[in-house]
Structures are given as C-alpha cells and as structure tokens.
Amino acid sequence: MSNIQSKELLFNISVLLDNARKKVVSTVNQTMVITYFEIGRMIVEDEQNGENRAEYGKAVLKELSLYLTERFGKGFSQRNLEQMRQFYLSYSIAQTVSAEFNMIEKKDNHGKSQTQSAEFKLPDNQINERLSTDLTNLNISQKNAFNFNLSWSHYLKLMRISDLNERKFYEIEAYKNNWSLRELQRQFDSALYTRLSLSKNKEEILQLSEKGQIFEKPKDLVKDPYVLEFLGLAEKSSYSEDDLESGLIDKLEHFLLELGTGFTFVARQNRITFDEKHFKIDLVFYNRILKCFVLIDLKIGELKHQDIGQMQMYVNYYDREKRLQDENKTIGIILCQDKSEALVEYTLPEDNEQIFASKYQTVLPTKEELKKLLQN
C-alpha cells in the first residue's frame, strides 16, 4: 500500500469515526431531552391529581429529588425537576404533543389510573420494571413527533423566550445552522428575530416561526441593522474604516454568523481596474444559497449618495466581468453608522433588487432600542 493510499484510508476512517461519534452524541442528547420531557409530563399529571396543587407539587418534587438522586446520582435536584416540569408545560402546548403522543397510562388491577406518588411505594424491582417499560414504549415514531433535535442546554435557554413564534424561530435556526449554546445566546442577545421581522409583513413573520430564515430573493439576505458587538469597537473613542475592516477579518467566524446562512469569504480589498483606474472593494463574499457574489463596503459616519453610486459601479463590474451564466446578479451592501431613508430611496431605482444600505452598531441593542425599532 502506497503512502497516498494509506493517507486516504486514514482520512476515510477518521471521517467515518467522527460522523459516528457525532451521531452517538446527537442520539444521546435527543434521548435525554425526550426522557426529561416525559419526567415533566409525569410530574404535571401527578400534580393534577393533588388537592392543593401548589403545596402538593413542592412536596412531590422534594421527595422525588431525594429518591432519584440517591438512586441515579446527580442531575435530579429539585430545581432540575422543576425545569423538566416547565419544559413539558412549554412544549406540550407549543407542539400540541398531547394530540400527537400516545400517553403511557398506568393502571392498577381495577383499571384505575395510578398517580406517580403511588409508584414510590412500589418495591424497587417493580419501579425498575415500570420505568424500563415506559422508556421502551418511547418508540422512534413518537420521538420524531417531538422534533427535539437540540441539547437540553439549548432548551433551557429557549424555554425562557416567552413569545412562542420567536422561540420556534430560534429553535429552527439553531438546528439548521448547528448553533452552539453560545451562538444561540449571541443571536438572541442581538435580537436576530426582531431585526428580521422589521421588514416583513405578518404572513412573512409567521413564516419565520414555521420555517426559519428562507433565502428566496436578494432582500432576504440583508439585515438592518447589523450588530457587530464582537469587534469590541465600542470601547474605543474613535476608529477608522480600516479598523472596522480589520476587526471583521480578525473575527471572520463571528461576522459570518451575523451575516447568516450560506456565506463564504472570497476576498478583502479586492482590486478592480478599468481605464487605468484602480478601485478596491472592502469585502467580497459568495452566497451558496442564492448563488451570487455579495459585495460589502464599509463607511464611517452617515451614508452619502456618492457611496451608493460607487457600490452600483462595483456591482455592475462584477455582473459583467465576474458573474457566470448560471449565477444570479451580484448584491451590494453598504454598512454605515447612519443613513437617510429618503436619500437611499431617491438614489436607487424603484425596482432595486441589488443595492442595499444597512446601519451597523457596535453594541448589543437594549430593550428600549428594540421597542423604538418596532415602532418605526
């Protein structure tokens, strides 16, 4: 076996093992989340049989925590059990699970439903047998009905989002884009859902919660504003366009996350030349979903009409000199600190689908700023 063949074999086996490990982790995570959901269901159903539900529920959680911790170890504190309970309450309503899931009803010899507290009094071997039966009955088709594809940590974050449509949007996007918990937190803190909703009607906003972000036309790629808090520029008293550009390149992974799905970095300070004149485009990306180049120009201060004209020139050049026949028209985005909507409207043609001007901010938006955006 030659060295080339050996390397190829090692690579193929490594890829296979990596994929297998990811699959195992994903399966374990999903099984754990479904199990926690079931524990939450059992707790809620048991509470509903108690006379004084609030006090009864607290007593059950305390007793249950002591029992499960002694038997199964860490992970079953009273706080964790309360989170499982809340998880069931949040997602059984959100996904109408009660209609999709065949509840495992436990009955005694007389055909009456048993409460969970009654199970605590069963001998250990019977408890193990009942728990084993319950988990076995969670077959694959039932698991898929839940669509719990994220980790438990992700769902702990998602549960704290009160707006159902917003929560569903972040859940879909986290799964589609394989966001880590940290990335999910960052997207939520930067108000991604709110920013995307600003330029959409009610029907399009509803689509966000059902399908996530869909790229069908150039406008779908653009956010306004872009949030660039990861650059740390807010700590500086002043900065230049070069500082902004260098920061985006140094934090390219963060910037790609902010740009959205399907972006690939192509070039920085891309020089184009005609009539013995040289021009430089700050950043060039390619979007694999819309199959087009995306040019980004960075501006400090307020947007000027000359900036829009310059971007129009860049876009025209790429369309005529760089774009292939099977690719869509180039998109140009000007990132600026401030802009006049009237200036943008009257500088660009009415049927514009290629040039966009968006504000950027170097700090995460406050609640007051978000409310102001929604009111505009």
CATH number of the structural domain spanning residue 284: 3.40.1350.10
Assign 294 to helix, strand or coil.
strand
Res. 6: pLDDT tops 50: yes
Rounded mean pLDDT, 131-150: 54
The confidence score (pLDDT) of residue 92 equals: 81
* pLDDT higher at 92 or 360: 360
- Using a 10 angstrom Cβ sphere, with 0-12 exposed, 13-18 middle and 19 or more buried, the burial of residue 37 is buried
- CB neighbours of 2 closer than 8 A, spacing ≥ 6? none
Structure confidence at residue 375 as a pLDDT band (50, 70, 90)? low
- Residues 139, 282, single domain; the answer is no
- Residues 106, 26, single domain; the answer is yes
- Residues 224, 196, single domain; the answer is no
- In this predicted model, what pLDDT tens digit does every residue of 216-248 receive, in sequence order? 888 888 888 898 888 887 656 678 888 889 999
- Is 376 domain-assigned? no
Query: What percent of the chain lies above the pLDDT cut of 90?
Result: 38
- Residues 150, 166, single domain; the answer is no
- Residues 148, 168, single domain; the answer is no
Which among 138, 154, 170 is the end of a domain?
154
- Residues 231, 362, single domain; the answer is yes
The confidence score (pLDDT) of residue 263 equals: 93
The range of the structural domain enclosing residue 283 comes to 218-367
Query: What percent of the chain lies above the pLDDT cut of 70?
Result: 77
- Is 323 domain-assigned? yes
* pLDDT higher at 276 or 107: 276
- Is 113 domain-assigned? yes
- CB neighbours of 190 closer than 8 A, spacing ≥ 6? 227, 229, 258, 364, 365
- Is 110 domain-assigned? yes
- Residues 256, 359, single domain; the answer is yes
The confidence score (pLDDT) of residue 37 equals: 92
Res. 123: pLDDT tops 70: no
Res. 293: pLDDT tops 90: yes
- Residues 234, 340, single domain; the answer is yes
The confidence score (pLDDT) of residue 181 equals: 93
- Residues 177, 143, single domain; the answer is no
- Is 260 domain-assigned? yes
Rounded mean pLDDT, 131-156: 64
Rounded mean pLDDT, 17-38: 84
- Is 41 domain-assigned? yes
- Residues 323, 195, single domain; the answer is no
Res. 73: pLDDT tops 80: yes
Rounded mean pLDDT, 144-164: 85
In this structure, the strands spanning 226-227 and 277-287 are unpaired
Structure confidence at residue 112 as a pLDDT band (50, 70, 90)? very low
Res. 2: pLDDT tops 60: no
In the chain, the number of structural domains is 3
- In this predicted model, what pLDDT tens digit does every residue of 308-349 receive, in sequence order? 999 999 999 999 999 999 999 999 999 998 999 999 999 998
Which among 195, 214, 233 is the end of a domain?
214
The confidence score (pLDDT) of residue 154 equals: 95
Which among 125, 154, 183 is the end of a domain?
154
- Residues 138, 209, single domain; the answer is no
- Is 286 domain-assigned? yes
Alpha-carbon Rg of the chain, whole angstroms? 27
Res. 111: pLDDT tops 50: no
- Residues 185, 223, single domain; the answer is no
- Is 372 domain-assigned? no
> Average per-residue pLDDT in the chain?
80
The confidence score (pLDDT) of residue 26 equals: 75
The confidence score (pLDDT) of residue 140 equals: 38
User: If you search the block for the tokens 């589609």, which residue do you land on?
Assistant: 176
